[in-house]
Amino acid sequence: MIQLLNALVLLLACGAYAISIPAAPIWPDGRCTDKSLTRPNWIISQYKVQAGTASFYLNNQGSNPGGFSSQFSCRPGKTECDGSAGSVPAKATLSVVNGQSVISITDFWTCGDESDRVNFRASGKTTITSCSGNDCVSPITYLVPGTLNLPIPLTPIQPTPPPGFDSPTCGSISDHQWSVVGLEYKNYTRGQCKQWYFEDFLCMDDNFANAENFTLRGQYLHLDVTNNAISHKVTCDFTPKKETSPYTPNIPIPFRCTGGNFNEITLEVTLSGNPTSTGPFDFTLKIEEVWYCLLDAKNSNRPTLMAASGSTNVSMDCNVNTGITGTASDVVTLCKSKGSLNVPGQQVAKNSLPEFSLVVAPPAHGGCTYDSIVNPTFWIRSPRYTVRPDDSLSSFDVGLNGPNFGPYWIYTNKNVSGTGLDTVYTCSSWYDGTPRDKKLNCYYAFNVHTKTMWLRKVWECNDKNPSTRLFFQGSGTIDFTVNPNYYCSSDGNTCSWYTDIDGIPYDVTKVTVSLEHALPPDYGQWLPEKPYYFGTPENITPNWNLRVARKRLI
């Protein structure tokens, strides 16, 4: 039918497209701090054993990528290895576990690429898999993933290899490259609703019973594709969505089922056909895919990118009927394939990649953890306060932004300790319905004479490893007089001024970090017999189980 021909015309010329091949990410020169926080790793190279003595070179991927390497020699009967003069402060030990040598590394280094120098200390280990006995030479290098304990306690997450990368058949391209099941194609030239409130958005049929559950106009596609070389299955589904803008009723050419980035399996399909009436018809299905292989793990750590393409004829049973409105312009086309399909492959690309590029974090700059260490900053905006005769606060409102939080509004709440100028307050209400374990500590004091605010606040970062919650606690003094455009009442007891939406930045002069969330007191349910916090603002001490000191971090 003409309607079916028009519906499929956008799916023609499937051979005119080629799958995009992503390039391996490359870290730029420098960026010592970024690298050390993202991939605090080492590379062991030129590993060999002569007369029982093992030797190798060690390169720190954070402090000295591609530069000078430390040399180590590990003698029989001695766990700690001897390092060259330039190896200090790196240390290496060798132990034997299940007949294989295990190299353990500890290292300390400093990054000075930012305005402040940052100290790093990390440790890690790896197993030597391609050299055994008293005399051997390893044909491969080894990656030693690191765990930081300075300036923060963290093991940054590294990517995992894609599925099937170590399959024995990973690099093969065959006549049985892909298996396809469940191929279905549908097309609705009009949305399946008799009476619209808003066309293609809200249906009035059955007294709005079908308001949002109608079938949208457009094309629908479903199929399951398995790459037999790596036994990897991808489900491809295209469904028009009314929420998207612009509305997309037709299947893109080609249609990307998954992937697109480096280290991801990327699969694209294109379906084309030219039926003229209801019945079984021949279509063409084209598949393009990118995947990754480690072809010779014993002799090389360089992964290989594989790209292949293939097509096959598909016999589909199609039914063409009039849709729910019964009009000539409302045509419903439903097509299904007969059984499973086999699609042969042809190699499009076979690219050798840098060593360990599948298992090392790609370039990253900044982020919550980085900002909390390198340049912790509080941003203050639009404060307003009123004081009592004894210099305590009767009202206090100020906007606060910082690393990974904001806008956060501070207002006068329960005082924790002290009177007058020594009063310390909690920042926000404990009666706002937020569970206590979701709250982060925040305390402040204010000197109405000097117009300075002391602030201590906790914020959370987990951008380097979602499973590791780092709780940073920052404190410092904020001088409101840096903004001279403030207004005070005639008695001087109420003052306020306006700042732009970003506010005024203040350095956080003292920062600590913990792996444990120090919960605030639960004022809504109980009060401890002894104060959880005590003393004046400068000696209030939280009950942190882990404190780690660093550069500007104490």
Could you tell me if 458 and 442 are in contact, meaning their C-beta atoms sit under 8 angstroms apart? yes
Q: What is the pLDDT of residue 523?
A: 62
Q: What is the pLDDT of residue 541?
A: 37
The rounded distance, in Å, linking the Cα atoms of 427 and 413 is 6
Q: What is the pLDDT of residue 381?
A: 87
460-499 pLDDT, tens digit per residue, is 999 999 999 999 999 999 998 887 777 788 777 888 887 7
Structure-block tokens of residue 125: 């280990």
Q: What is the pTM of this model?
A: 0.82
Q: What is the pLDDT of residue 16?
A: 52
Task: Name the helix (H) or strand (E) containing 91.
Answer: strand 91-97
Q: Which residues contact 548 (CB under 8 A, 6 or more apart)?
A: 149, 150, 151, 152, 153, 512, 513, 514
Q: What is the pLDDT of residue 67?
A: 54
Task: Name the helix (H) or strand (E) containing 528.
Answer: none
Q: What is the pLDDT of residue 17?
A: 61
Structure-block tokens of residue 186: 């549908």
339-379 pLDDT, tens digit per residue, is 899 999 999 999 999 999 999 999 999 999 999 999 899 99
Q: What is the pLDDT of residue 430?
A: 58
The rounded distance, in Å, linking the Cα atoms of 401 and 380 is 7
Kindly tell me if the per-residue pLDDT of 157 is higher than 90: yes
Q: What is the pLDDT of residue 488?
A: 82
For range 179-202, the mean pLDDT: 91
208-264 pLDDT, tens digit per residue, is 877 778 899 999 999 999 999 999 999 999 999 887 778 889 999 999 999 999 999
For range 117-133, the mean pLDDT: 93
Nearest to 252 by CA among 221, 282, 281, 274: 221
Percent of the chain residues past pLDDT 70, beyond the cut: 86
pLDDT band at 547 (very low <50, low <70, confident <90, very high): very low
The rounded distance, in Å, linking the Cα atoms of 481 and 371 is 26
497-514 pLDDT, tens digit per residue, is 877 777 889 989 899 999
Q: What is the pLDDT of residue 551?
A: 33
Q: What is the pLDDT of residue 63?
A: 79
385-410 pLDDT, tens digit per residue, is 898 888 888 888 898 988 888 778 88
More confident: 480 or 161? 161
Could you tell me if 223 and 236 are in contact, meaning their C-beta atoms sit under 8 angstroms apart? yes
Kindly tell me if the per-residue pLDDT of 276 is higher than 70: no
For range 181-201, the mean pLDDT: 91
Average pLDDT, the chain: 85
pLDDT band at 14 (very low <50, low <70, confident <90, very high): very low
Q: What is the pLDDT of residue 413?
A: 67
The rounded distance, in Å, linking the Cα atoms of 57 and 63 is 15
The rounded distance, in Å, linking the Cα atoms of 540 and 288 is 62
Structure-block tokens of residue 510: 């003292």
- Which residues face 163 on adjacent strands? none
Kindly tell me if the per-residue pLDDT of 420 is higher than 90: no
Could you tell me if 452 and 479 are in contact, meaning their C-beta atoms sit under 8 angstroms apart? yes
For range 22-38, the mean pLDDT: 92
368 phi/psi in degrees, rounded to 5: -60, -50
Q: What is the pLDDT of residue 536?
A: 37
For range 59-75, the mean pLDDT: 80
Q: What is the pLDDT of residue 421?
A: 87
